[in-house]
Every structure is written in C-alpha cells, then in structure tokens.
Amino acid sequence: MIVCFDSNVLVSAIATRGICADIVSVVLAEHRLVVGATVLAELRQVLTRKLGLPPALVKEADRFLRMHATVVKNPGAPAFQELDAADGAVLAEVIAGKADVLVTGDRDLLQLSMKLPIKVLSPRGFWELLRSG
C-alpha cells in the first residue's frame, strides 16, 4: 500500500509514543511511504518553532524521511474549492504520489473525505485498516 502522512501525524510520531509512531513504523517496514514537499516544510517548521527541537535533530528527521520515502514536489493544485491553500497543496502531493491513503488528523480533510479522490483516514482509522488486513 502507498501511504502519505500529513505533517500532524509525523509530528506526533516524532514527538510522542503512541498510535502515530506505531503506524509510521509499520508503514516504513511493510508499505511504501510518499511524502510531499509541503508536508516536509510544515514538519520542519513545527519541530523547530512549536516544539523547539535543535536544528540538528530537525535536519535528521527530514533526512530520514527523504531517505525512506518518495518525495513529491510541485504537483500542481487540485480543484477543490472547499480546501484552504495548505490542505490543497497536501492533497495535490498525495494524488501526484499515487498514494492509496492519506493519514491525517486535519478535521477539514477528514470531513471532506467522501468528496476527495483518495481515501482519507485518521490515525486510528488507518490503524484499524492495517489490523483488518
């Protein structure tokens, strides 16, 4: 399965132990990870500004993801007026990366999931999908 994580899932996976860390580990071990340039930029910003992690640790997280994922850059914008610019950019990267699923905690993306051309799941929903085989 080709999986894309939104920045909020990656931040949680890096900053805490729990379901986000678990699903990232499973995807890295058993599936294919796609990550967008927008998500990587948001991740670096949050890790630096909000969590105050040292620059070397932020660089290491970025390098690790780039080494273990396919990075999608400049995919163009999807035509979804319901989404703000940041969510639209993330969705465009997910589609360009041919992901099967986007895992996010973003309420706007989750609420619009039925209207989007890709499966959008919360971390818990994705965990349940993985457990169901």
Closest of 109, 30, 115, 63 to residue 125, by C-alpha = 109
Residue boundaries of the structural domains of the chain: 2-132
Read off the pLDDT of residues 21-80 as tens digits, 9 standing for 90 and up: 999 999 999 999 999 999 999 999 999 999 999 999 999 999 999 999 999 987 776 666
- Provide the strand spans (E) within 68-127: 70-72, 101-103, 119-121
The pTM of this model reads 0.92
For domain 2-132, give the CATH number. Answer: 3.40.50.1010
